[in-house]
Amino acid sequence: MKIKCAKCKKDAELAPDYSFVECKECGLDMSYGEYVRFIAHNEATYSDILSDYTGSTEGETSGTLDDWED
């Protein structure tokens, strides 16, 4: 699947199983999770959208997977 490269803004390839993003133009190669975090922190449009859902996260940490288990 084609998506926008986080670095050069050209077409990048997203693996069918969402495991990685690769751009042949600039050499970007990262997991999809890293890609989403990169975009969320570096592009104002996405940061604004995410803040609508998360509210203020000031002073909070993400925790660990153990924190998510019941």
Segments making up each domain of the chain, as ranges:
2-54
d(CA 26, CA 4): 12
Q: How much of the chain, in percent, has pLDDT values that exceed 70?
A: 61
The predicted pLDDT at position 62 comes to 53
Residue 70 has pLDDT above 50, yes or no: no
* Residue 30's pLDDT band (cuts 50, 70, 90): very high
* Residue 60's pLDDT band (cuts 50, 70, 90): low
The pTM for the full model equals 0.60
Q: Dihedral of CA 55/56/62/65: which sign?
A: negative
Q: Is 47 helix (H, G, I), strand (E, B) or coil?
A: helix
